[in-house]
Amino acid sequence: MVTNGKGLDMNSWLLLIVAILFEVSGTTSMKLAEGFTKFWPSLMVFLCYGISFTALTLVLKTIDVSVAYAVWSGLGTAIIALIGIGWFKEPISLLKTVSLAMIIVGVVGLNFSSSH
């Protein structure tokens, strides 16, 4: 087990990042699957979410569920919103920008709370 000196398991945090990336890939695949009418993106939805949930489940062995799930869902939501804006050309507004910033601030706050 690799720790950062504060008792946090760095391997678990890396695995949480993997879970987030696969969740984001699965959600992006949902958009590309066009209601499950496209085979490969549809297959990727299930594959990516399977890997994501497996990784998240393993993470919960060492990171509190309140922190792990909030980070997983919060960062996943923020990244997907940015993909929607950048790749799928969804509109952006001041309210959307402030809301995304609040999600990121919340995730950072949870990370600080878990180290104390």
Alpha helices in the chain (DSSP H): 10-33, 39-59, 65-86, 94-114
Tens digit of each residue's pLDDT (9 = 90 or more) over 41-92: 999 999 999 999 999 999 999 999 989 999 999 999 999 999 999 999 999 9
Please report, for the chain, the start and end positions of each structural domain, with discontinuous segments joined by +.
10-114
Question: At 35, is the secondary structure helix, strand, or coil?
Answer: coil
Q: How many CB atoms lie within 10 A of CB 36?
A: 11
Residue 115 pLDDT class (50, 70, 90 cuts): low
Tens digit of each residue's pLDDT (9 = 90 or more) over 93-104: 999 999 999 988
State the residue for tokens 């910033």.
101
